[in-house]
Structure 1
Amino acid sequence: MQLRKTCFVGLISLALLSGCSWFSGEEDVVVMSPLPKVDNQFQPTEVWSKSVGNGTGEFYSNLHPAWQDNRVFAADRRGTVKALDIDTGKEIWSADLSEKTGFLSSNLPALLSGGVAVADNRLYIGSEKAVVYALSADDGTVAWQTKVAGEALSTPVISDGLVLIHTSNGMLQALSQTDGAIKWTANLDMPPLTLRGESAPVTAFGAAIVGGDNGRVSAIMLAQGQMIWQQRISQTTGATEIARLGDVNTSPVVVNNMVYALAYNGNLAALDLRSGQIAWKREVGSVNDLIVDGNRIYVVDQDDRVLALDIQGGVTLWTQSELLHRNLTSPVLFDGYLVAGDSQGYLHWINTDDGRFVAQNKVDSSGLQSKPVVAGGKLLVQANGGEVYAFTR
């Protein structure tokens, strides 16, 4: 179970903590695996590090950097947004999105949450206050800001002149990339109890493909916001409320007219892009984004096993089980290796051929929860405390 995730009923937020027994009356103690001993085949090199505000602290957040050309863009939860030089980490500009109160020079935090996205010389970011911001990539000035239907927990996705936001109350909204005007809203429906966090959509052939808290994957027309198809990939029958959570919080992946999607307590499924029909499914659950590369799918499951699966039917090729319950980030492929961070601040580098560890390095004692970002020949990592690091192999 992901310790960093939270679920909510109505307006009441509860932390999903191991050992708690709100629903079953029984203790379910989860023990974090000890740090594996790794004989490093190479030493990852820290090129630079730079503080971006106060980070996210103990709050669950999907905030992670983005990059374009020679600049890295990163933000903290309070509202600081910075542009950094990708080679040196030197600050190019800094903006503050916190709300000016005029009282004793205090500001209300913006509560940025949804990860930074950059496109066409603008960066986009959402907040827990249900606001989406568009900033100039040149100097950080706000081009527009729009109130959306709910907390903007997903990373914005820019496509066909639209900024797509999946909000915490189950709405997918399309905003004009030009001025932020809301073009359409699609209701994805949601159950009374869900994990905190939302799937960022992926776009393909004029459609947005997105996972929902109801365990379904939906295809929606970008032009009008009309539903094309929906397919349930999670049908949970657990004995407790938590065991029956079936959110599709991961971002789908589209490859060769197939949609690959992953649910918590559910399945990894391959769906036909045109019809939504299931080609195959495999019982694997997660809240971490998956990777499709060639004929393989890489997954970090909800117990923090790292799996390589065959793309044709989900057959397991290898499993790495030495990181159980270390609260891994979503993995990325970097320089031929699979890389994931953990809640104690380590990066784990894994051989994609056999799942063996090839390197390990301590990044930051505040821990890691957002996935690393590959920026050309560098790996960007944002720690919970607000420090952004750039590594090379």
Structure 2
Amino acid sequence: MQLRKTFFVGLISVALLGGCSWFSGEEDVVTMSPLPKVENQFQPTQVWNRSVGNGTGEFYSNLRPAWQDNRAFAADRHGIVKALDIDTGKEIWSVDLSEKTGFLSRNLPALLSGGLAVANGHVFVGSEKAQIYALNAEDGTVAWQSKVAGEALSTPVVSDGLVLVHTSNGMLQGLNETDGAVKWTVNLDMPPLTLRGESAPTPAFGAAIVGGDNGRVSAVMMAQGQLIWQQRISQPSGATEIARLGDVNMTPVVANNVVYALAYNGNLAALDLRSGQIIWKREIGSVNDLIVEGGRIYLVDQDDRLIALDTQGGVTLWRQSELLHRNLTSPVLFAGYMVVGDSEGYLHWINTDDGRFVAQQKVDSSGLQSNPVVAGGKLLVQANNGEVYAFTR
């Protein structure tokens, strides 16, 4: 098996923040911005909170809640998965996917990693052990379990009768939604050094649009698993190995037949959905998911600047730079505001018109790493210690 040098995004951040000189003889000391002072224009209301196992701890993970109808679903890295009432946080069911073993009466952790998805009466989650689980949403029983090509670090995506999984070794696989059987595999190629994490595919008109560790965005026909087009949006350059990383780890966004994608150390690009040709691009890099809404693009760049751009040409509308290097989550739009979390456990609420702060709140001292989730009229946030919170405006 080929040895793959893989780095946690969080580990790279620590290296950069601490001035580590693994990749060069120079010391670049980058410090986290102090918490900005914000006069709250309103106070977000915490509706409930509920513990879901031990969370992710110090590990980099994409685990985050999912929801459907009146239920929220959340998991921890060990293997605990819970269904919670969306209004009260009351536990409806709980299952443990860790492996039973007689050795010292301890269970081997399932190492859940890929985030949760819920569709058609099932909850889907992947693991670092290359397993995909489909649970019955009603009671948490396992409907099926399937082996995939590598670590399932991205969130499974359900579309057209398939469960799409992008694995850590650069494989995009389509699994039968009914029984988990692998129907096809596409090799997206990958360089020897990559960031830890993979792009979740976006279904659009029978195709799956997905980012790759090689700096390309690919379109794959879901029915046959055939590659339609590929487009590079990041060209390796720079004096250090970190500077040459160009992974497209975010989930591409498709709006009005345009694909919007973002690469680490690369570009924000708008691509034609049918051909993959570049319509325009801007020199902005990130691993975070972005938002396209109302003719605007909202994103967090790799230095944790909040940026709003116009979809027509990528013109910058505003930029907020008071949260530099606070290891922000991807942004979400909730109750008319842009919301991000940070590694110190704060939620920041930003005016989408001009980028000004309108509210700030401390959620959990263990820190926030996974993306907030908009669940109807509530905002779900999972802290690193596994605590899940629900807020309203």
Q: Same fold (TM over 0.5)?
A: yes
CA RMSD of aligned residues (A): 1.1
Q: CA deviation at 1:25?
A: 1.8
Change (3 A) 1:12 1:189: closer
Q: Does structure 2 conserve the Cα–Cα contact (< 8 Å) formed by 1:135 and 1:144?
A: yes
Equivalent AA in structure 2 for residue 308 of structure 1: A
TM-score norm. by structure 1 comes to: 0.97
What is residue 304 of structure 1 aligned with on the other side? 304
- Give the secondary structure class of the aligned counterpart of 1:104: helix
Q: TM-score, normalised by structure 2?
A: 0.97
Residues in 2 aligned to 1:323 and 1:296: alpha-carbon distance in whole angstroms: 21
Instruction: Tell me which residue corresponds to 2:209.
Output: 209
Q: Secondary structure at the match of 2:180?
A: coil
Q: Residues 9, 351 of structure 1: CA spacing in aligned structure 2 closer, same or farther, 3 A cutoff? A: farther
Contact kept? 2:23, 2:240, Cα under 8 Å: yes
The Cα shift of 1:29 comes to 1.4
The alpha carbon displacement at 1:331 in A equals 0.3
Aligned to 1:4: none
Deviations 1:148-186 (A, max 9, x none): 000000000000000000000000000000000000000
Q: What displacement does 1:237 show?
A: 1.2
Distance (Å, rounded) in 2 between the aligned partners of 1:303 and 1:292: 20
Counterparts of 2:292 and 2:122, CA distance in 1: 28
Q: Per-residue deviation at 1:141?
A: 0.5
Report the equivalent of 1:148: 148
Q: Which residue of 2 aligns with 1:338?
A: 338
TM-superposed CA distance for 1:94, in Å, is 0.2
What is the identity, as a one-letter code, of the residue corresponding to 1:382?
A: Q
Deviation at 1:135, TM superposition (A): 0.2
CA contact (8 A) 1:9 1:194 kept: no
1:264-322 CA distances to partner (integer Å, 9 max, x unpaired)?
A: 00000000000000000000000000000011000100000000001001110000000
Could you tell me which amino acid in structure 2 is paired with residue 185 of structure 1? Answer: T
- State the Cα deviation string for residues 361-390 of structure 1 (Å, max 9, x = none): 000000001110000100000000000000
Distance in 2, matches of 1:178 and 1:164, equals 13
Letter in 2 for 1:132: I
- Determine the C-alpha separation between the residues in 1 that align with 2:140 and 2:287: 32
Is the CA contact (8 Å cut-off) linking 2:198 and 2:249 kept in structure 1?
yes
Q: How many angstroms apart in 1 are the aligned matches of 2:349 and 2:69?
A: 26
Aligned to 1:32: 32
For 2:86 and 2:154, the matched residues in 1 are separated by 24
Q: Give 1:261's aligned residue.
A: 261
Letter matched to residue 350 of structure 2: I
| DSSP 3-state at the match of 1:77 | coil
Asked if 1:60 corresponds to 2:35, the answer is no
CA–CA distance in 1 between the matches of 2:5 and 2:347? 35
Residues 173 and 185, structure 1, Cα contact 8 Å, conserved in 2: yes
2:248–2:264 contact (8 Å) kept in structure 1: yes
After TM superposition, give the deviation of residue 188 of structure 1 in Å: 0.3
CA distance in 2, matches of 1:42, 1:236: 44
Structure 1 counterpart of 2:275: 275
Kindly state the Cα deviation for residue 12 of structure 1 after the two structures are TM-superposed.
6.3
Report SS of the residue matched to 1:99.
Answer: coil
Partner residue of 1:160?
A: 160
* Residue of structure 1 equivalent to 2:4: 10
Could you tell me which residue of structure 2 aligns to residue 364 of structure 1? 364
Counterpart of 1:247 in structure 2 is: 247
1:220–1:12 Cα change, 3 Å: closer
Structure 1's 136 and 35: CA in aligned 2 closer, same or farther, altered over 3 A? Answer: same
Shift of 1:236: 3.0
Q: Does 1:137 align with 2:137?
A: yes
Inter-partner Cα distance in structure 2 for 1:52 and 1:325:
28
Question: Does the CA-based 8 Å contact 1:9-1:193 persist in structure 2?
Answer: no
Tell me the alpha carbon deviations over residues 90-112 of structure 1, each in whole angstroms, 9 at most, x when there is no partner: 00000000000122321000000
The code of the aligned residue for 1:10 comes to R
Alignment match, 2:126: 126
Q: Distance in 2 between matches of 1:21 and 1:183?
A: 45
Measured after TM superposition, the shift of residue 33 of structure 1 is: 0.1
Match of 2:243, SS state, is helix
Quote the residue 1:5 is aligned against. none
> Corresponding residue for 2:353?
353
**Structure 1 residues 11 and 100 mapped into 2: Cα distance closer, same or farther (>3 Å)?**
farther
> What secondary structure is seen at the aligned counterpart in 2 of 1:113?
strand
Contact between 2:333 and 2:339, CA under 8 Å: does it hold in 1?
yes
Alpha-carbon distance in 1 for matches of 2:113, 2:283 = 30
- Residue identity (%): 82
Distance 2:317 2:6 in 1: 41
Q: Which residue in the other structure is 2:92 paired with? A: 92
Distance 1:173 1:261 in 2: 20
One-letter code aligned to 2:4:
G
Task: Give the match's secondary structure for 1:116.
Answer: strand
- Structure 1 residue 9: deviation in Å? 6.5
**Cα distance in 1 between the residues matched to 2:53 and 2:241:** 37
Q: 2:6, 2:195 within 8 Å by CA — same for their partners in 1?
A: no
Q: CA deviation at 1:21?
A: 1.1
- Structure 2 spans left out of the alignment, 5+ residues: none
| 1:229-285 deviations in Å (ceiling 9; x for gaps) | 000000131110000000000000000110000000000000000000000000000
- Give the conservation status (yes or no) of the 8 Å contact 2:5–2:193: no
CA distance in structure 2 between the partners assigned to 1:392 and 1:83 by the alignment: 20
Aligned residue number for residue 45 of structure 2 = 45
Contact 2:6 2:194 in 1 (8 A): no
Distance 2:20 2:249 in 1: 23
Task: State whether residues 338 and 351 of structure 1, in contact with CA within 8 Å, keep that contact through their aligned partners in structure 2.
Answer: yes
Cα pair distance change 1:344/1:213, threshold 3 Å:
same
Q: Does 1:102 align with 2:102?
A: yes
Q: CA deviation at 1:13?
A: 5.1
| Corresponding residue SS for 2:115 | coil
Alpha-carbon distance change, 75 to 351 in structure 1, aligned in 2, over 3 angstroms:
same
1-structure distance, mates of 2:7, 2:367: 23
Change (3 A) 1:94 1:262: same
